[in-house]
Amino acid sequence: MQNAPRFRPEYIPLSIMVIMSIVLLLTLFWGLASIKDIITNVLVIILLGFITVDVKNHSLESKSLRPAYKYVVMIILLSLLSLF
């Protein structure tokens, strides 16, 4: 069991990011995506990338508010996108 791969928490958002990328590529390939869908998928992929990096570097456990600013900006962008 020592040679078995260990589960790492960053695998979860990374796998979701891969699935979202595949969905985005398939919708682009079939021509079923609108501009709003493309922007939404890209923002979700970027958000998952931020989460993956923060989980890997353990920066979510820190007491400072510095890592939170990028999440606030992403939430604002996604909420503005839902208005249009």
49-79 pLDDT, tens digit per residue, is 888 888 888 776 777 777 778 888 888 888 8
| Residue 5 counted as domain residue | no
| Residue 62 counted as domain residue | yes
| Residue 1 counted as domain residue | no
Range of the domain at 30: 11-83
User: What's the structural domain count of the chain?
Assistant: 1
Q: What is the reported pTM? A: 0.77
Mean confidence (pLDDT) of the chain: 83
3-state secondary structure of 80: helix
Question: Would you place residue 5 in the very low, low, confident or very high pLDDT band (cuts 50, 70, 90)?
Answer: confident
| Residue 6 counted as domain residue | no
Q: What is the CA radius of gyration of the chain?
A: 16
| Residue 3 counted as domain residue | no
Report how far residue 60's alpha carbon sits from residue 82's, in angstroms, rounded to the nearest whole number: 27
| Residue 69 counted as domain residue | yes
The pLDDT value recorded for residue 25 is 93
| Residue 2 counted as domain residue | no
Q: Which regions of the chain does DSSP assign to beta strands (E)? A: none
| Residue 27 counted as domain residue | yes
